[in-house]
Structure 1
């Protein structure tokens, strides 16, 4: 009985060691992937905050898609660049600066050797052209795929709380301010035009 007990103990030790090895190996093997994906998150945040979207040129997959916080679908890096540039420049621009701090909830969940999904939150600061500043927390998710040795973004989805959305509130306030200013300018222009017409009529 003593010999059988010893053999059973040895077998149990081998079994435990085998299970531990099987559990730790995947994490160790994918450490390089997790490091690469952390770097990709940092680069993406930098590109978005600085509007230097060329930083992502080699890190987006064909058909790269973004769903924005205002529910727009953007396909391709050029579409993303055009959308965010319009927020800062042009006749409908409302922002002067955007600060984002994305943080992943947990490590990327791999769906195989070459694909994965990750979720997280971002504490964002929006600075508007009228001097207003609003803070908003957004939730995001991303699908990634490995192309050769490079991890690339396939899809990014942003979402926010519709019931408590300071970004939308600020945009509405900004639109109201600009409409009021436009109305006052239009009124003054009309009064000036009428004064000129009356002066010419008298002359």
Structure 2
């Protein structure tokens, strides 16, 4: 009887602590958010806007002061960069082929979770608008996740990650269309070369008839 009573109390105690632990974990982001005032939110938004402007104008000197010392960015093609010059070189290389310009804008609401009053995890959606050198345009839907940390009274981007649907990628579609055009052109060119070659061979092999 005593063993059953102690076992029942032990189970109740375990259940109580489990419930308390879940409640504490569940309320951590909310309590952290409660400690963040609107001025901090506005400062985070300013950092975000500066980052967008740097991407759209390719002026990365603007965002340099707002990057965390251990900054990391992961691009949609799974490239990872830790230094601004390396990412700037990568970004500028995107315009050396068929792409003329890229403009990015946010879409919808930003989901924001404060792990602490000084650490913000934000995520949302964006649209990247591509302008190609042949005059065509296309949009690509993106998802992004950013971690910002407040250091020295300034909100800095610690990490930034982009992802996209690889099956709906305007750059790949443009490359595929270009490949198809080149394949057709190569086929037509090969046919013409073959036809001309056959005509020349026929003329060369045609027996000559002397006039009487």
Q: Does 1:47 align with 2:54?
A: yes
Q: Structure 1 residues 57, 143: closer, same or farther in 2, change over 3 A? A: same
- Secondary structure of the residue aligned to 1:71 is coil
Q: In structure 2, what is the equivalent of residue 68 of structure 1?
A: 75
Residue number in structure 1 paired with 2:116 = 112
Query: What is the alpha-carbon root mean square deviation over aligned residues?
Result: 2.8
TM-score (norm 2): 0.66
Structure 1 position 136, deviation (Å) = 1.1
User: Gapped runs of 5+ residues in structure 2?
Assistant: 1-29, 191-212
In structure 1, the partner of 2:170 is 166
Q: Deviation string for 1:66-111 (max 9, x for gaps)?
A: 111112112211111111111124xxx3321111112463353111
Report whether the alignment pairs 1:77 with 2:100. no
User: How many residues align structurally?
Assistant: 161
Q: Which of residues 127, 134, 137 is equivalent to 2:131? A: 127
Say which is worse superposed, 131-140 or 107-116, in terms of deviation. 107-116
Residue number in structure 1 paired with 2:160? 156
Give unpaired runs (5+ residues) of structure 1. Answer: 1-22, 188-203
Secondary structure of the residue aligned to 1:171 is helix
Q: CA deviation at 1:157?
A: 0.5
TM-score (normalised: structure 1): 0.68
Larger radius of gyration: 2
> Are 1:33 and 2:37 counterparts?
no
Q: Match of 1:195?
A: none
